[in-house]
A and B are shown apart, each in its own frame.
Chain A
């Protein structure tokens, strides 16, 4: 399970970084989506998925899952959703104003 999980997280990071480095702004934003999900999975891998019982159950003999990474991931998901929505809207305005999706050509700010 651990091995499978780390391979999955690693693959998501690799795909995300590759996409982030693309010149097309839309592709690079998709890369950001993948990266932020990879980070959430990474936070989950700090032990939260190993438990079989929720942390608030009293008197259970089974392994309880760690509640803190779950709280972190929930917060991170909400915040990254807001951030990614904002970055998409910025990309939309850029595509309307510059009529181009090549990140290298978006360089009107000089001096």
Chain B
């Protein structure tokens, strides 16, 4: 019989356990992948159960590790926001494992590939679920190391360069987070997020608090690849193996978005106005720069990586508006963008695997799509979803976003991002035209087989369902937003509960 509080640990521990088991199966290459998929499916089931339980209860499920009470021990908290993020990331990671199973990359046969995949899942889930700033550092580091090694073993021969850039900037970011946690500990004597929130609200005039806030902001900015810390992101997401870059560009960058939501609604509620202004400015710059960058590239995967910069910008602007409706639209946007971007990157990777030279550069993939009309239909649907065209889920996220902008009367930033969202149509249209319309160069033939299209089909199917029947997601998002509006609920849930 499972105690309700312990199910918080399941989405974290199951992938970790699977990773350990995977290491033992070094001479069973096929079985490793199936095991990883089974583990991720079980983990996804447990996280969906966790979300339903939290939604049903109305208060967070808290687990105190080792029985130490909240401000002293390490706490795992599944509130509505964390549980939603965990369900989203586990869904995409499961799809990523499914893609890796049908992938023809060499790196998938690397003995530790699925182990690293599962430790990446552990790091991401743990970072979403932890209620302790220092524990966030530990899980973020696990995530970074797994992502780095997965990219360094990529088939792309320059993968090591991208991995080096990412790892270097991430180590600097970890140093930022350590400085921030040291400062917060000096100023408030605790590292538990709920306790910190209560103490910061009680004594907001500590001289070290703004410094810690800035360092924490910088850490999350590096995690989400926000300007001016964005330079590693297009390289890294282009060079990673397709199954991995689909995760990196969709769910891993959401760690920073999650951090901004926590900072503005839990940790620094009174100082949130300053943070929000910063986030709106960064978001608008990101939207414009990402859109222009995506138009200016000559590689399908790189184009999608730049597009992630733009899409994260939309979420930042929504968090910056800060009204409950805007926060709800940010949640919807986060969820939908993960599905769309993962599917599009998988499709770009599937095209690259069929190209005469394995690469997603437009010069190599011109006309390759002629042999895969089904993939073209999926790419078109995904691209329209990214641009926000009606029958798909992207429309719902854009619509709630713009509606919340009108509601918050932020017309200037709304006009800017509304204009910049037109860039999406340009670059998606150009990629579609290059890959599926233009004829191949004479004398070259696409490879007859390539990566399986099963995983992107599932993701695009979910996109279609969420576009036609978006009501449950909208209700979930507005529940999350109204939960975020009251920091007291989180604080009391963590500090009072008996784990």
Once bound together, how far apart are the Cα atoms of A17 and B377, in whole Å? 50
Interface size on A, residues (CB 8 A): 34
Within the complex, the shortest CB–CB distance from A75 to chain B, in Å, comes to: 7
User: Is B79 part of the binding interface, using a Cβ–Cβ cutoff of 8 Å?
Assistant: no
Interface residues as binary, B178-217 with A (CB distance below 8 Å gives 1, 0 otherwise): 1101100110000100000000000000000000000000
User: Is B258 part of the binding interface, using a Cβ–Cβ cutoff of 8 Å?
Assistant: no
List which B144-166 residues lie within 8 A (CB) of chain A: 144-145, 148-149, 152, 157-158, 160-164
Contact B145 A83 (CB under 8 A): yes
Q: Which residues of A contact B302 (CB under 8 A)?
A: 111
Q: Which residues of B contact A72 (CB under 8 A)?
A: 134, 181-182, 185
Give the number of residue pairs across the A-B interface with Cβ within 8 Å: 90
Interface residues as binary, A71-111 with B (CB distance below 8 Å gives 1, 0 otherwise): 01001100110111011001101100110000000111101
Within the complex, the shortest CB–CB distance from A34 to chain B, in Å, comes to: 11
Within the complex, the shortest CB–CB distance from A106 to chain B, in Å, comes to: 6
Closest to A96 in B: B160
User: Is B31 part of the binding interface, using a Cβ–Cβ cutoff of 8 Å?
Assistant: no
Within the complex, the shortest CB–CB distance from A11 to chain B, in Å, comes to: 16
Contact A32 B161 (CB under 8 A): no
- Contact A76-B178, Cβ < 8 Å, known A20-B172, A46-B185, A47-B186: yes
Q: Which residues of B contact A32 (CB under 8 A)?
A: 168, 171-172
List which A5-53 residues lie within 8 A (CB) of chain B: 20, 25, 28, 32, 35-36, 39, 42-43, 46-47
Max count, chain A CB within 10 A of own CB: residue among B186, B191, B299: B186
Interface size on B, residues (CB 8 A): 37
Contact B179 A39 (CB under 8 A): yes
Q: Which of A35, A106, A111 contacts B175, CB < 8 Å? A: A35
Contact B172 A111 (CB under 8 A): no
User: Is A55 part of the binding interface, using a Cβ–Cβ cutoff of 8 Å?
Assistant: no
Q: Which residues of A contact B167 (CB under 8 A)?
A: 83, 86-87, 90
Q: Which residues of B contact A47 (CB under 8 A)?
A: 186
The B interface is mostly helix, strand or loop, or mixed, namely helix
Q: Which residues of B contact A20 (CB under 8 A)?
A: 172
Contact A36 B171 (CB under 8 A): yes
Q: Which residues of B contact A109 (CB under 8 A)?
A: 158, 161-162, 235, 238-239
Closest to A38 in B: B175
Once bound together, how far apart are the Cα atoms of A111 and B172, in whole Å? 26
Contact A90 B175 (CB under 8 A): no
Closest to A68 in B: B185
Closest to B302 in A: A111
Contact B186 A46 (CB under 8 A): yes
Q: Which residues of B contact A84 (CB under 8 A)?
A: 171
Q: Which of A43, A106, A107 contacts B182, CB < 8 Å? A: A43
Once bound together, how far apart are the Cα atoms of A68 and B161, in whole Å? 37
Contact B152 A93 (CB under 8 A): yes
Once bound together, how far apart are the Cα atoms of A109 and B179, in whole Å? 32
Contact B174 A83 (CB under 8 A): yes
Closest to B159 in A: A109
Within the complex, the shortest CB–CB distance from A69 to chain B, in Å, comes to: 7
Q: Which residues of A contact B239 (CB under 8 A)?
A: 109
Within the complex, the shortest CB–CB distance from B484 to chain A, in Å, comes to: 28
Q: Which of B158, B164, B182 contacts A87, CB < 8 Å? A: B164
Within the complex, the shortest CB–CB distance from B376 to chain A, in Å, comes to: 22
User: Is B361 part of the binding interface, using a Cβ–Cβ cutoff of 8 Å?
Assistant: yes
Once bound together, how far apart are the Cα atoms of A91 and B186, in whole Å? 36
Once bound together, how far apart are the Cα atoms of A97 and B160, in whole Å? 9
11 contacts between A and B (CB under 8 A): A43-B181, A43-B185, A75-B138, A79-B137, A79-B141, A83-B145, A94-B160, A94-B164, A98-B161, A106-B161, A107-B161
Q: Which residues of B contact A (CB under 8 A)?
A: 134, 137-138, 141, 144-145, 148-149, 152, 157-158, 160-164, 167-168, 171-172, 174-175, 178-179, 181-182, 185-186, 191, 235, 238-239, 297-299, 302, 361
- List the 3 closest pairs (A to B, CB-CB), nearest first: A111-B298, A46-B186, A90-B164
A43-B185, A94-B160 known; 8 new pairs, CB 8 Å cut-off, are A72-B182, A79-B138, A83-B167, A86-B148, A90-B148, A91-B164, A111-B297, A111-B361
